[in-house]
A = this chain, B = another copy of it.
């Protein structure tokens, strides 16, 4: 009897994680000589633990195809990090039981750094118990912080979204600046790394163009320098467009987003670095300003996905299955950049044990010496990742995103209570 495959999504979703799922499922279906049924976990590893496995046979081939153009996690994702095997034996035992109960021989875990670590631990645990299951990690994160791979699927589309958005909003502000808004602040994701903020810099193909200022988590936020830089941009160009990472910190290491906003009852107002910066501009420069917070819109914006990102997403999903069928275990497909212009890349495999707990930090030579913009080196790296437009099909003026039935397989095991 052929072994079945189980695919699970993990962590924050992206515009292309479903394109990765599409690559996994379509490739598994093409290898019916080697792979039995294909299941998806409902809500990621939680679904594995709770034996909530989605029967993908219930989804039409059109729906599976449609995943390629559908943002978010079609089967549900989760924020749930498995602890180490010693601290958390019950959950590893449970995962093994679920694998056994459903004859899982291939496990594909689509997530960021923590998930790759989990995939590695599951592979190690199952091997130690003598249960043969091939565990493959599939890289995914808008944060672009996975090591070895040229970039992380999901990042390129956010990059394209933020660069396009600040290009557009910058033109808007420029056209009104003489008598209206002079400072515009756009907040983007990036709690620990400035990859997304950096990508917005691609819109500034000339110094006069937005964004004029980028605030990175890698650079301590200095209000005085920031305000001076705004004034300089205004005197040169008549307006100033700012992109700020949500994760910028002050000289004391505190998040700027948490620096002092209180509601009427005195509660600290969490989140939103853009309004804090706007208030700084209000108080000190008395300049009319506006601000936007992209939040989930940026990572869900499949309508402006990068074709390169979608291609790489599908390719990593496909490669995951191919690697499994080649007998590779505990590996992750990575994107290897061959050339910059034109951008060419291949997929290779890297051992999960090398991936776990290694962070791909933004090189400091990607940030200009003044700390407020990106360098030529950053552009050379980033530019290829936003290339090409992968438009979804539309119906009645809106993208045709698929919604899966997500019918669960009958359970074979007793229930299980999550440890947290």
A interface with B by C-beta (< 8 Å): 9, 12-13, 15, 43, 46, 70-80, 160, 163-165, 167-169, 171-176, 178-181, 184, 186, 202-203, 259-265, 267, 269-272, 274-276, 278-279, 282-283, 290-297, 299-304, 306, 383, 386-389, 391, 394, 396-399, 401, 403
Contact = CB atoms under 8 A, between A and B. Distances in A.
Given A168-B72, A174-B72, A283-B267, A295 B303 contact: no
B293 A13 contact: no
Contacts of A391: 389, 391
Given A77-B175, A176-B73, A297-B292, A302 B398 contact: no
Given A78-B180, A165-B297, A71 B383 contact: no
A392 to B, nearest CB: 10
A393 to B, nearest CB: 10
B300 A172 contact: yes
A345 to B, nearest CB: 15
A175 B10 CA distance: 10
6 contacts: A72-B174, A76-B175, A78-B178, A168-B302, A270-B282, A306-B397
A259 B264 contact: yes
With a 10 A CB-CB cut-off, give which of A9, A173, A181, A272 has the most chain B CB atoms. Answer: A272
B275 A399 contact: no
A179 B78 contact: yes
With a 10 A CB-CB cut-off, give which of A168, A169, A267, A274 has the most chain B CB atoms. Answer: A168
Contact of A172 (B72, B178, B293): B72
Contacts of A163: 397-398
A187 B201 CA distance: 25
B296 A293 contact: no
A75 B178 CA distance: 12
Nearest to A52: B178
Given A80-B179, A272-B272, A169 B291 contact: no
Contacts of A73: 175-176
Contacts of A279: 263, 267, 269
A343 to B, nearest CB: 10
Given A168-B296, A181-B296, 7 more contacts: A43-B178, A169-B300, A263-B279, A265-B283, A271-B290, A291-B295, A389-B394
Given A202-B397, A297-B292, A304-B303, A74 B164 contact: no
Contact of A296 (B9, B78, B184, B296): B184
A179 B275 contact: no
B401 A171 contact: yes
Given A178-B78, A297-B294, A72 B386 contact: no
Contacts of A403: 171
